[in-house]
């Protein structure tokens, strides 16, 4: 439960502090649509996503290769 709670707190904090769609400042709340594409792209393409982009979509590739090997005698 503590892991899930900390994960939720992390995500909420990240959204409040870094999400370009969340406007806490009163001056920025007046604009209906923000035209800051660079900031939105930076938020969407964060470091973890860039790291995982070129990795194979497998949790344990060695075990998957071992069990899916069809060249067994």
Residue with the larger pLDDT of the pair 64 and 12? 12
Is residue 17 within 8 Å of 1, Cβ to Cβ? no
**Residues in Cβ contact with 16 at an 8 Å cutoff, skipping those fewer than 6 apart:** 22, 24
Is residue 36 within 8 Å of 20, Cβ to Cβ? yes
What band does 4 get if pLDDT is binned at 50, 70 and 90?
very high
Q: pLDDT by residue (tens digit) across 25-61?
A: 776 666 666 677 777 777 778 788 888 888 777 778 8
- Say how many C-beta atoms besides its own lie within 10 A of residue 19's C-beta: 13
| Distance of alpha carbon 73 from alpha carbon 40, whole angstroms | 54
Predicted local confidence at residue 73, as pLDDT: 46
């Amino acid at each position: 439960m503590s892991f899930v709670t900390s994960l939720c707190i992390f995500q909420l904090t990240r959204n409040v502090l870094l999400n370009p769609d969340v406007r806490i400042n009163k001056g920025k709340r007046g604009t209906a649509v923000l035209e800051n594409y660079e900031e939105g792209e930076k938020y969407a393409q964060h470091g973890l996503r860039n790291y995982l982009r070129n990795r194979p979509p497998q949790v344990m590739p060695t075990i998957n290769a071992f069990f899916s090997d069809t060249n067994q005698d």
